[in-house]
Amino acid sequence: MSKVDVLIVDDSALMRKMISEIIGSHPFINPKDTAINGKVALNKLKKDPNFDVILLDIEMPEMDGLQFLEEFQKLNLDIPVIVVSSFAKRGAEITMRALSLGAKDFVTKPSGPISLDIEKVKNDVIEKVLVWGLNRKKIRESMPSVHIAENLKLVEEKPLEFTSPPIEEVVRRKKIKPKVIGIGISTGGPPAIRKMLAKIRGDFPVGIVIAQHMPENFTAEFAKSLASSFPHLDIREAKDYDTVIPGRVIIAKGGRHVTVNEVEGKVFVRIVEDSSYSFRPSADLLFESIATNIGKDAIGIIMTGMGSDGAKGLKKLHDVGGITIAQDEKSSTIFGMPKSAIKAGAVDFVWSLDEMVPNLYNLLAALGFEPRTQGL
């Protein structure tokens, strides 16, 4: 298998050198070229567009990262851009702006001396370069499916077979009245969520709660950015006791967990601390809370992401009678989370990202739900 070719765009010569050394230490990554700012990067891409990933700094002279993304869109090159971002609040704002301009992902670096800075996130940088680079290579080349092991080695895996039954067949078995749709998602989540929300109308009849693996500070900016892009929906970062209502999309708070609860017919979320879960927010805890507190009258969706977070919780929701869905391998940036749920027998349907919202509308119609007469 050929290596993942990377273009590193950063105005700091030291940072370019360090990132090159870090990613170059992996046997399947090639730091092919560097650029000192966005303008130089664009010129290089026009001459040679054969890169699998772009690592992009934001604050650069002459042409910064945001300006680069605006111009990069005009080249129509399907090369994933990963932003190397500050962990601070200002970094979160700029990173979400970058995602809205087409960046696929980001790596956060804590503040401190540059050498320590980037070394702390070494594995994160390598992992994301591999995830997005291999995803691009899979689309462009005929290559086997691989997954990234904990030691960042690549392991070939066999494709997983699953045939979704007709919607009507599942509805006959599971006659539910959904009060909430829970979504668990990780790597590749921000662009996938954007793609989904673009297809959801303001008359959508069920409230949505999303557990997206994302650091503290970033989820508030993510929700703000989504709300700006999709004003017909009520999109917000979760606050304690926020109600789950049609047309509302609640994004779990980074660094904390969100659960779904019901008292006297009112469905609402709680923000909770629980160190027993590896990820914060946890998809497992979200689905478990829905299964326990709402029961069968719910829909759970597990989407792109590395690892197995969400599989156990989705299985619990599936077993109490809720309807459960996984994103398919082809449209997932990384298939770990959906695959774990499918292998656990936790899933009723496997749908592509493009099918997800149209099929949800069809599913809700089959369950007797009609769009609301007015959007929010």
What three-state secondary structure class fits 128? helix
CB atoms within 10 A of CB 266: 12
- State the DSSP string of 139-207: HHS----EEE-TTS-EEE-PPPP--PPPHHHHHHH-----S-EEEEE-TTHHHHHHHHHTT--TT-SS-
Give the closest residue to 290 by CA, choosing from 272, 309, 315, 317: 317
Task: State which amino acid sits at residue 100.
Answer: S
Active-site residue among 309, 318, 331, 340? 309
User: In whole angstroms, how far apart are CA 124 and each of 3, 35, 190, 236, 364?
Assistant: 18, 22, 17, 27, 39
Pick the catalytic residue: 85, 105, 213, 340? Answer: 213
Residues 6 or more apart whose CB falls under 8 angstroms from that of 177 comprise: 297, 367, 368
Distance between terminal CA atoms of the chain?
50
Helix or strand (DSSP H, E) at 331: none
Which residue type does 221 have?
A: E
Residue 257 is among the residues annotated as catalytic for this protein: no
Is 203 an active-site residue? no
List beta partners, residue 181: 208, 299
> Does residue 186 have an active-site annotation?
yes
Q: How far apart are CA 325 and CA 337, in angstroms?
A: 12
Say which of 20, 85, 100, 186 is annotated catalytic: 186
Q: Mind telling me the catalytic residues? A: 186, 213, 309
